Amino acid sequence: MFSREAIAALKAARSVFVLTGAGVSADSGVPTFRGTGGLWRNYQATSLATPKAFANNPKLVWEFYSYRRKILAPLKPNPGHFAIASLEERVSSFTLATQNIDNLHRIAGSQNIIELHGNIWEVRCSSSTCKNAAEPWENCQVPLSPLPPLCGDCGGHLRPNVVWFGEMLNPAALSASMRAIQEADFFIVVGTSALVQPASRMPLMAHEAGVFVLEINPEPTELSKIVKESVQETSGAALPLLVEEAFAVQ
Ligand code: OAD
């Protein structure tokens, strides 16, 4: 499945950067965005995942995320998530940047995680002037009326602590990713259609810097013809094999 060169490069790597997308959670039963049955296929993303949609109808958007949490709650990490957590233990420097908001990487044991698009299990105040930090969604599970719940500090509506269309990423997440990419000598991009900036630029930056970029995705993407190696396989099948071959993990 993997070239000898890829295995040798990963084995010798001092610093590994992994970028994941919805495809890594597909093996756990989480719908992707653009594939068949994808979330954005079934919902007009722009009518639910934008600041304007929330301003127009905060209750509808809040309920959409409650629905997504209901789907996610029983789902578990899959072998792909666990393989990434196992890889982190085997390299001296490791960074995982995920576009996923489902928290499955953390549940699988990954430590150094940059959540580029936030975390559906956190909420924050929607007022741009409020200093209130993000907090666990459970904290606001009091009998909810009105929906969405209101910020205890300023009375603004609470919102999911996720990035919506048209919103900037958290600058700290971006700068931490850039720093880690500069240090990386092996880059794995897995389970993403590589269509959404700035995440989709990350593998290209590493490739342009001469870093070995390995893509894992059952479908070809814009990256497939550019990066050093592209393996058309699911993450749940490929990632455990990759870690086993590189680190002879039994
Ligand atoms: P997409 O739904 O755009 O792409 C999912 C990718 O996963 C596709 O390339 C599939 O081929 C691949 N895939 C499907 N099953 C897989 C499997 N079992 N193993 C590995 N890969 C598999 O999801 P993302 O690329 O993550 O942003 O989308 C990026 C962002 O667009 C999301 O974070 C979200 C969306 O708008 C925000 O919500 C801000």
Cα gap 23→190, rounded to integer Å: 7
Any residues with Cβ below 6 Å from ligand 1, and which?
A: 21-23, 26-27, 32-35, 38, 49, 99, 117, 163, 191-193, 195-196, 217-219, 221, 234-236
Q: How far is the CA of 100 from the centre of ligand 1 (A)?
A: 8
Is 117 a known active-site residue? yes
Complete domains list, the chain, with CATH: 4-29+77-117+170-247 (3.40.50.1220), 39-74+122-162 (3.30.1600.10)
Proportion of the chain above pLDDT 90, given as a percent = 78
**pLDDT tens, residue by residue, 50-90:** 999 999 999 999 999 998 999 999 999 999 999 999 999 99
pLDDT of residue 36: 75
DSSP state of 219: S
Q: How far is the CA of 155 from the centre of ligand 1 (A)?
A: 35
Mutual orientation of helices 4-12 and 235-247 as an angle, nearest 10°? 70
- Which residue type sits at 27? D
For ligand 1, atom 2, the nearest C-alpha belongs to: 33
Structure tokens at 78: 């899959």
pLDDT of residue 143: 58
pLDDT of residue 235: 98
**pLDDT tens, residue by residue, 98-143:** 999 999 999 999 999 999 999 999 999 999 889 888 889 887 765 5
Reply yes or no on whether the pLDDT at 222 is more than 60: yes
pLDDT of residue 25: 98
- How much is the pTM? 0.95
User: Per mean pLDDT, which range of 88-97, 153-162, 216-225 is the poorest?
Assistant: 153-162
pLDDT of residue 40: 74
| Max Cα-Cα span within the chain | 59
Length of the chain counted residue by residue: 250
Q: How far is the CA of 67 from the centre of ligand 1 (A)?
A: 19
The number of C-alpha atoms within 13 Å of 180 and in the hemisphere containing its C-beta is 25
